[in-house]
Amino acid sequence: MIEKLNVKRSRQKIIVYSIVIIWLVSINIWLLNTYYLSSSSSAEELMPTNSIYNEYETSNEGDDDSKDITDSSSREKSVKDELIIKILQKQLSKAKDTRTMDTPASIYKSIFEKHDIDSIFGNLDFDQRCQLFFKNLFIRDHNWIFNPNEDIQLENKNEFKFNDYKKWHMEEYKTEFAKQHHKNVDEVEHTPQFEDFVKAKYEDFWNRTMTYEQKIVDHVSTLRIFNKCFITSDNKTQISQTNQFIKDQFKLVDGVRRVSKKPSTPAFVSSKEENLVSFHSLESSVLEHRVYPWLSFELPVYERWTGRIQYNPPIMADYIKDGSQKKKSTTDSSSSSSSFFLNKLKQKSNGKGLVLSIGDSHVDDTVRLIHLLRALNNKLPIQIVYYDNLSKDTKNKIVTAATDLMTTVPKSFENVARYFPEDYLTNGLPKQEVWFINTYNAIHADFRQKFKKYSNKFLATLFNSFDEFILIDADTVLMQSPEYFFNLPGYIETGTFFYKDRTTYETRPISDAKFFEKLGPSIIDSVMFNIPIMTQYTLDKPFFKGLFHYMESGLVVLNRNIHYNSILMMLQLNFYTTVNGRIHGDKEIFWLAMAINGDENYTFNEHFAASVGKITPQLERAKPDGTEHKSEEICSPHPGHVSSYDDALVWFNSGFHYCGQLDAVDYAKEFSHKSRLKHIQSLEAFETFYRNPLQIEAAIIPPMDLNIHAVNAEDEPSKGWFMDKRYCNGYCWCGYSIIGGNTKEGKNNELVGKVVHFDDKAIELFKYYGDVWVGIE
């Protein structure tokens, strides 16, 4: 028996050894090909000499062309270029690294100065690496802390190139230079001294920019490493993944040393300073406070619609007993001994539902939304997360909307009654389980001013108590029941579902893309902590090619268990002026934070936003010669979202009134234009039309027109979207199904989008939902 076992064992051994040998041989071949053979040509890669943005262009007159501005870290051969790091990275990901830069946290420099690379990757397990990282942060500065209030300015967002910079500041610098040298403003330009003066200014600007960017890189790296090391470190999946990752690295380091005939892996020796830092006392009491100084480490206050208040997240299954609310299984993550607040917060979340973040000014829309949710037969709980104080009056209105008996439904229900279950109206429209969550005391007093306005949405993301939630704006209009979104295949696969914005022609400078790319995980992050670098999945998004608006965040579906660390990254990113100065509101932060966190497991609906409403009759927009356009047009104040799975309209923005700007509109003026909505005869009817529900028959998703101006000779639109400022107080946008056509030169630049005509059932349902939302009998 024992012999048999031995035979089996030794056979296993042979198999394991042969796998290792094949592996090493293939690595050698890979090395030979990609490293040794190309080493002459990749010298540049090893010794990056250009500035990171590579956009410094010396002017014609400059005689010191060779002068480069480089941040100091890239002057030296960096750790990421060490052979072993390349091999380890190769082992992690087969995909080619297509990023244009790699920016490690500066603390790695001190770590790798002290330690032999092989001694780290060949010996240290995951916990030991975490300790090494944080010990060194303390050694560098005992008082290190993230300060979200630190003022980091985004200056000259559009002027990263020298020539642009020069152009923008020419007058200012001419004046300054002339004053300093007692010269006439007109005679300073084109002198070598003035050129040097401008260059020095630019170098200062560049240095300031690189300095603060490195600072943000350091913050963001520490955050993602802290989260992985301590917040999700009780996750069984993560534990087994990191164990395997470490084991593979040990084998690889050992194997590579054998192949290159080096002695066996050197032991890891802590430096004297590292020995002096007692890590475990740090861990529990200090680390989380240093990384998250804006938390008060108090839970928010949870208030049920009945007025009952509690200081712990509610167990939703106690309130909604239809099986939709799962309790957390304690086997998955050991209800652990972790002393971290954020870890406990995560463990207390449960169930699923809808989340809104509102202030008193949103109460009317919220009430309408709740009526709509009742009509949609929603059974999921709703949590209203607030920060700035929500008045009693607002709460009362919301509770009334959610719980009053609603037995009368609009007349339009008759046409759709057959689509609803039999008990739909038995006890009136279903009541809603509403909770209010007050987050004021969960934020440290020093940082409360950071959480005004848009950022509330991220607080709602963190402090709602669900495992899975749909985060919506008060003026978001759902056309499907909330359950529909949780069942989307993309959501089930990745634990996120996002929607895209209108592809308007606004663009962003390429320096934005560089900045966000720079914040992503570095190669060292990936080989030390198994946090993957950004791939083409993210970098191929049109946002990185200069599209200004990519995401529309009026409805976001998120699984917090899977993406907890990314949610924490969203909050952190939102603190930086240099991040939100590049983004309209909170829109792009959801997916960017995920990618920056090394989590590319997010899904977007494939279609961009559509214009929804009625197709403009061709007669109303005939060409100058009286013929019809090939393109179709919908002008509407509402961007709508059409599912790329089944072309259903799933939700749209800006409420259900035809115009969401009712109080701001100058009706007489808008009516007087008489170039759209020509069927409306009187000013009174015009006002009523604006107030009534949007009528939806079709949707147009224009072709993507980034940087394309499809100028043509056929009077077809040259861009997919056109904002007609004259209507709905400037909120009316026209979308076109086709842009371009034959040009004067006899070419054809036509691009085709998509037109969706909804069927009768859908149109009748939209009508019913519209009547409920607006409150028409």
User: Taking CB under 6 A as the rule, which mask of x and - marks residues 157-196 in contact with ligand NAG?
Assistant: ----------------------------------------
Q: Which is nearer to ligand NAG, 180 or 335 (CB)?
A: 335
What is the Cα–Cα distance from 224 to 569, expressed in whole angstroms? 7
DSSP structural state of residue 534 = P
Q: How far is the CB of 397 from ligand NAG (least distance, A)?
A: 14
Q: Which is nearer to ligand NAG, 561 or 631 (CB)?
A: 561
Candidates 128-136, 234-242, 647-655, 674-682 — which segment interacts with ligand NAG by CB under 6 A? Answer: 234-242
Q: Which is nearer to ligand NAG, 437 or 562 (CB)?
A: 562
Q: Give the β-pairing of 633-636 and 610-613.
A: unpaired
3-class DSSP state for residue 311? coil
Q: Where are the alpha helices (DSSP H) in 412-496?
A: 456-463, 482-486, 489-494
Per CB under 6 A, the list member of 391, 408, 487, 707 interacting with ligand NAG is 391
3-class DSSP state for residue 507? strand
Per CB under 6 A, the list member of 561, 566, 578, 631 interacting with ligand NAG is 561
Q: Give the β-pairing of 754-757 and 698-701.
A: antiparallel
Q: How far is the CB of 392 from ligand NAG (least distance, A)?
A: 7
Q: Which is nearer to ligand NAG, 440 or 447 (CB)?
A: 440
Q: Cβ–Cβ contacts within 10 Å for residue 128, how many? A: 15
**252's tokens:** 């690889």
What is the Cα–Cα distance from 456 to 462, expressed in whole angstroms? 10
Per CB under 6 A, the list member of 131, 333, 465, 574 interacting with ligand NAG is 333
DSSP structural state of residue 547 = B
Does residue 223 contact residue 531 with C-beta atoms inside 8 Å?
A: no
Q: How far is the CB of 272 from ligand NAG (least distance, A)?
A: 28
Phi, psi of 405, rounded to the nearest 5 degrees: -65, 125
Q: Which of residues 436-455 bind ligand NAG (CB under 6 A)?
A: 440
Per CB under 6 A, the list member of 235, 530, 643, 729 interacting with ligand NAG is 235
* Selection from 157, 156, 153, 50 nearest residue 509 by Cα: 157
Does residue 214 contact residue 71 with C-beta atoms inside 8 Å?
A: yes
* Helix H or strand E segment including 223: helix 192-226
Based on the shown chain and the rule CB under 6 A, indicate whether residue 240 belongs to the binding site for ligand NAG. Answer: no
Per CB under 6 A, the list member of 155, 332, 506, 606 interacting with ligand NAG is 332
- Residue 753: strand pairing partners: none
Based on the shown chain and the rule CB under 6 A, indicate whether residue 211 belongs to the binding site for ligand NAG. Answer: yes
Q: How far is the CB of 599 from ligand NAG (least distance, A)?
A: 7
Q: How far is the CB of 236 from ligand NAG (least distance, A)?
A: 7
Q: Which is nearer to ligand NAG, 152 or 252 (CB)?
A: 152
What is the Cα–Cα distance from 183 to 185, expressed in whole angstroms? 6
DSSP assignment of 696-749 equals: -SEEEEPPP-TT-----SSS--SSSEEEETTSGGGTEEEEESEE--B-TTS-B-
Based on the shown chain and the rule CB under 6 A, indicate whether residue 566 belongs to the binding site for ligand NAG. Answer: no
Q: Which is nearer to ligand NAG, 244 or 688 (CB)?
A: 244
Q: How far is the CB of 154 from ligand NAG (least distance, A)?
A: 16
Based on the shown chain and the rule CB under 6 A, indicate whether residue 209 belongs to the binding site for ligand NAG. Answer: no
* Selection from 469, 589, 422, 442 nearest residue 519 by Cα: 589
Q: How far is the CB of 378 from ligand NAG (least distance, A)?
A: 25
Q: How far is the CB of 283 from ligand NAG (least distance, A)?
A: 21
Candidates 125-133, 204-212, 444-452, 757-765 — which segment interacts with ligand NAG by CB under 6 A? Answer: 204-212
- Residue 555: strand pairing partners: 472
Does residue 519 contact residue 486 with C-beta atoms inside 8 Å?
A: no
Per CB under 6 A, the list member of 38, 149, 193, 389 interacting with ligand NAG is 389
Q: Which is nearer to ligand NAG, 89 or 743 (CB)?
A: 89
Based on the shown chain and the rule CB under 6 A, indicate whether residue 675 belongs to the binding site for ligand NAG. Answer: no
Q: Which of residues 601-630 bind ligand NAG (CB under 6 A)?
A: 601
CA 487 to chain centroid: 22
Q: Which of residues 577-606 bind ligand NAG (CB under 6 A)?
A: 601
Per CB under 6 A, the list member of 233, 494, 504, 631 interacting with ligand NAG is 494
**754's tokens:** 């998509």
Q: Which is nearer to ligand NAG, 153 or 391 (CB)?
A: 391
* Selection from 362, 355, 369, 366 nearest residue 439 by Cα: 355
Candidates 56-64, 135-143, 233-241, 753-761 — which segment interacts with ligand NAG by CB under 6 A? Answer: 233-241
Based on the shown chain and the rule CB under 6 A, indicate whether residue 243 belongs to the binding site for ligand NAG. Answer: no
Q: Which is nearer to ligand NAG, 214 or 265 (CB)?
A: 214
Three-point CA angle 248, 279, 146, nearest 5°: 95
Residues 6+ positions from 763 with CB-CB distance below 8 Å = 696, 697
Q: Which is nearer to ligand NAG, 128 or 601 (CB)?
A: 601
Q: Please, which contacts does 445-449 make with residues 24 or more away whose CB atoms are closer than 8 Å?
A: 445/296, 446/149, 446/293, 446/294, 447/148, 447/149, 447/293, 447/294
Burial zone of 26 (CB within 10 Å; 0-12 exposed, 13-18 middle, 19+ buried): exposed
Candidates 171-179, 203-211, 602-610, 716-724 — which segment interacts with ligand NAG by CB under 6 A? Answer: 203-211
Candidates 176-184, 231-239, 273-281, 609-617 — which segment interacts with ligand NAG by CB under 6 A? Answer: 231-239
* Selection from 91, 120, 74, 77 nearest residue 31 by Cα: 91
Torsion of CA 617, 620, 625, 627, to 10 degrees: 10
Q: Which is nearer to ligand NAG, 208 or 545 (CB)?
A: 208
Based on the shown chain and the rule CB under 6 A, indicate whether residue 237 belongs to the binding site for ligand NAG. Answer: yes
Per CB under 6 A, the list member of 84, 562, 634, 699 interacting with ligand NAG is 562
Based on the shown chain and the rule CB under 6 A, indicate whether residue 70 belongs to the binding site for ligand NAG. Answer: no
Q: Which amino acid is at 723?
A: M
Q: Give the β-pairing of 721-724 and 468-472.
A: unpaired
* Helix H or strand E segment including 557: strand 551-559
| Number of residues near ligand NAG (by CB under 6 A) | 16
Q: How far is the CB of 601 from ligand NAG (least distance, A)?
A: 4
User: Taking CB under 6 A as the rule, which mask of x and - marks residues 278-317 in contact with ligand NAG?
Assistant: ----------------------------------------
What is the Cα–Cα distance from 381 to 404, expressed in whole angstroms? 16
Q: How far is the CB of 537 from ligand NAG (least distance, A)?
A: 9
E-strand ranges in 118-230 read: none
Based on the shown chain and the rule CB under 6 A, indicate whether residue 12 belongs to the binding site for ligand NAG. Answer: no
Place of tokens 């009362």: 396
CA 225 to chain centroid: 19
Q: Which is nearer to ligand NAG, 157 or 208 (CB)?
A: 208
Based on the shown chain and the rule CB under 6 A, indicate whether residue 238 belongs to the binding site for ligand NAG. Answer: yes
Q: Residue 261 to residues 36, 251, 265, 554: CA-CA distances in angstroms?
A: 18, 15, 11, 59
Based on the shown chain and the rule CB under 6 A, indicate whether residue 150 belongs to the binding site for ligand NAG. Answer: no
Binding site for ligand NAG (CB under 6 A): 207-208, 211, 235, 237-238, 332-333, 389, 391, 440, 494-495, 561-562, 601
